[in-house]
Amino acid sequence: MSLLEIEKLGVDIGGTPILKGIDLSIAAGEAVGLVGESGSGKSMTALTMMRLLPHLARTSGRVTFDGIDILSATEERMCALRGDDIGMVFQEPMTALNPVKTIGEQVAEGIRWHTGVGRAEAEDRARRILDRVGLPEAKFPLSRYPHELSGGQRQRVVIAIACALKPKLLIADEPTTALDVVLQKQILDLLRDLVQENRMGLLLISHDLAVVTDMSDRVTIMRHGEVMEEGETARTLSNQVHPYTRQLAEASMHVPARAKTHAFQGAAPLLEVNNVVRDYPGRRASLLRKGTPTRAVDDVSFTIHPGQSTALVGRSGCGKSTLARMILALDRPTAGSIRLTGEELTTKDEAALKPLRRNMQVVFQDPYGSFDPRHRVERLVAEPLHLLDRRIGAAERRDMVAAALHEVGLSSRDMDKYPHEFSGGQRQRISIARAIITRPKLVVADEPVSALDVSIRAQILDLFADLNQRLGVAYLFITHDLTVARAITDDVMVMHDGRIVERGRTGDVLDDPQSDAAKDLVAAAPDLHRAIARRLREQG
């Protein structure tokens, strides 16, 4: 008998159906992947298992966990199950921990609550599980607070809380989406080991097919609250019987068609970065002594030619975004020079920068945070027109915005809408429209697709490739995702601890990395082809 059995599960909230006829089963010790794009109902399914659905949600069908009918169990019974027999790991380790409690307290809390053991013993068990997840007490005492830990370490604490009582089922809802690839691999390895050691059932929710293939025996693919396909992981993803499965698999390996890359040799460089250093003042050691400064960017030099698409890859916190800000003249380097079309950026004041800013624009990661929620699209997209020397009339402005929107595949009717009326992918298009309206020569894109679903991501990458071809825009693509770098860039620079440790043609560097940092990144990057091949090989 299965550990968890979901039959014909339906959920609706306020009359809107959210889940329709979901069937899913997990055997003891089995790992099942739940895949789908945003809004497909993955997280809702997980919340139903814990019975943590929002108020007003109505359920139908049957959910049986270990012989208990979850949907009709008493709240008391559920409290006993949650955290004891079913553990949960959330996506955002920043918000899943209570900032005012120490990590020891937070791990021990669940142990004491469920087992009724005393404080000393609970702490002892907390110490052991924290040690198991890679936070040994010698380096990470129980008295640490969440803010004193990095993102990856925090996620380890969350895993420790979920696994402290050796639950029969562990639900991991996008456990690594907020982490960079190297951390992602470490966390996934840890999860896999813990699950195998204790013979836990694992439900891994993810939008990343490669991660799911790596981790799970069986996979369930969801869309719009329905199960599209279900089956043994490697076979399902390699046969791709269902059209939606094929669509997902293709989108996650999508490489935009790019004609022969431009020839850069001989042409004057567009952007020259020479020996750039950026220090941040450290915390004061005492009232009179200044703290030692932190070096975020350390002696970085490179050039970008017109039309060239360059990737800047590296782990989180390696200084990529700081470098991007200095190139955009939003921040000044401590030392070194940055030249755009031969003109120095670092010494000019805001007025003198104006003509230069016209040639460089930016696309940010978060399609939600990069627009003023109180302005309409017309005004948002037209914002960089401020950089033009002449004043622009209302009619001409509308024409230019319409042209830019058309360029990114949106309609000119969209300009009277507000940003919240658009989906994430559409917003990212608006963001690109804003970046190209002044016809810049360089666009700096800071993780522009990492917040998007795979199929949307493929479309946006196509758009970037297309604009590069048609308008000859040069890109500096900042990313930690090597698939993106491979898909869209000619050259790649690997950054580590503020330094550029390796550079070269994208294909060469990613296929045959030389530096340790690049090797780590390449080894950790999830790859669907390799993952499927490995699975099939294991099964013989």
Partner 1 sequence: MSDAAGATTETAASFVAKAFSSRSFVVGFAITSLIALMAIVSFFWVPYDVTVLPVADRMKPPSATHLLGTDHFGRDILSMIMVGSRNSIAVALVAVGIGMGLGVPLGCWAAARGGWVDEVLMRFNDLVFAFPALLSAIMITAIFGPGAINAIIAIGIFNVPVFARVARAGALALWPREFILAARAAGKGPALITLEHILPNIATALLVQGTIQFALGVLAEAGLSYVGLGAQPPMPSWGRMLFDAQTRMMVAPYLAIFPGMAIVATVLGLNLLGDGLSDVLDPKLRRQR
Distance CA 197, CA 200 (A): 8
The label of the residue with tokens 């020479």 reads: 274
Q: How far is the CB of 517 from partner 1 (least distance, A)?
A: 27
Query: What is the DSSP secondary structure assignment for residue 288, as one 8-state letter?
Result: S
* Closer of 324 and 525 to partner 1 (Cβ): 324
Q: How far is the CB of 434 from partner 1 (least distance, A)?
A: 7
Distance CA 440, CA 432 (A): 11
Token code pair at residue 524? 């950790």
* Closer of 23 and 421 to partner 1 (Cβ): 421
Q: Name the region of 266 (left: φ>0; alpha: ψ -120 to 50; beta: rest).
A: left
Q: How far is the CB of 465 from partner 1 (least distance, A)?
A: 23
Q: How far is the CB of 438 from partner 1 (least distance, A)?
A: 8
* Closer of 231 and 317 to partner 1 (Cβ): 317
The label of the residue with tokens 């999508």 reads: 254
Largest CA-CA distance found in the chain, in angstroms, rounded: 75
* Closer of 206 and 361 to partner 1 (Cβ): 361
* Closer of 331 and 520 to partner 1 (Cβ): 331
Q: How far is the CB of 356 from partner 1 (least distance, A)?
A: 9
Q: How far is the CB of 380 from partner 1 (least distance, A)?
A: 8
Q: How far is the CB of 384 from partner 1 (least distance, A)?
A: 4
Q: How far is the CB of 337 from partner 1 (least distance, A)?
A: 20
Contact (CB, 8 A) for 520 and 501: no
CA-based nearest residue to 302, from 173, 439, 442, 178 = 442
Distance CA 329, CA 353 (A): 8
List of residues contacting partner 1 (CB under 8 A): 325, 328, 330, 350, 353-354, 357-358, 360-362, 364-366, 368-374, 383-384, 386-387, 418-421, 431, 434
Contact (CB, 8 A) for 221 and 36: yes
Asked whether the CA dihedral 175, 180, 183, 188 is positive or negative, the reply is: positive
Distance CA 175, CA 171 (A): 9
Distance CA 65, CA 46 (A): 13
* Closer of 357 and 535 to partner 1 (Cβ): 357
Residue 469 burial (10 A CB sphere; 0-12, 13-18, 19+): middle
Q: Which residues pair with 513 in a beta bridge?
A: none
* Closer of 101 and 386 to partner 1 (Cβ): 386
Asked whether the CA dihedral 499, 505, 510, 512 is positive or negative, the reply is: negative
Contact (CB, 8 A) for 532 and 213: yes
* Closer of 127 and 427 to partner 1 (Cβ): 427
Distance CA 490, CA 181 (A): 21
Q: How far is the CB of 225 from partner 1 (least distance, A)?
A: 21
* Closer of 336 and 424 to partner 1 (Cβ): 424
* Closer of 280 and 368 to partner 1 (Cβ): 368
Distance CA 212, CA 235 (A): 13
The label of the residue with tokens 């299965």 reads: 2
Q: How far is the CB of 342 from partner 1 (least distance, A)?
A: 19
